[in-house]
Amino acid sequence: MTEATRSDASANPVREAIQRAIDEHEVILFMKGTPEAPACGFSLRTAGALQALDAPFAAVDVLPDPRIREELTALSNWPTIPQLFVRGELIGGCDIVMEMYESGELAQALGVGAPAPSESALSAEPATGEGPLLGIESAPR
């Protein structure tokens, strides 16, 4: 890490916390509300697709702090919430996730729904990385 990125990170702790959360969770959904109590229909559908596949995922509610959404959008170059990241990469928002769910691509991307020995690796996903800036909920279902 260069001097420049270190000072960027310390100058922007929210963005740094978001980047760390994305790096540390194999599947992470930024949404409005929580998987149990979504606060928007698009977040509801996206979390529902992951739950329907029984895919373990971490979830971050963007509503408690407006900076989370601002910094997430700046980082991902994606204007709306929800946003699903798998292995550090933006998969999409509600439309793309639902299209991929219906076509079977989502199960493939998540490594579920196939006879995959990697499933135990997914479930063993650590729920660490929680800082004071982001409430990260690891949803087992």
Partner 1 sequence: MPTTQEIASRIEAGIPGASAEVEDLTGGGDHFRATVVADAFAGRSRIEQHRLVYAVFGEEVGGPIHALSLKTETPVRQP
Measured at the CA of 48, the angle between CA 79 and CA 75, to 5 degrees, comes to: 25
Is 102 a binder of partner 1 (CB under 8 A)?
A: no
Strand 27-31 and strand 136-139: the pairing is unpaired
Our finding on whether 96 is near partner 1 (CB under 8 A) is: yes
**By CB under 8 A, is residue 48 in contact with partner 1?**
no
Told to check if 91 binds partner 1 by CB under 8 A, we report yes
1, 2, 79, 124: residue in contact with partner 1 (rule CB under 8 A)? 79
By CB under 8 A, is residue 99 in contact with partner 1? yes
Map residue 74 onto helix, strand or coil: helix
Binding site for partner 1 (CB under 8 A): 42, 73, 77-81, 90-96, 99
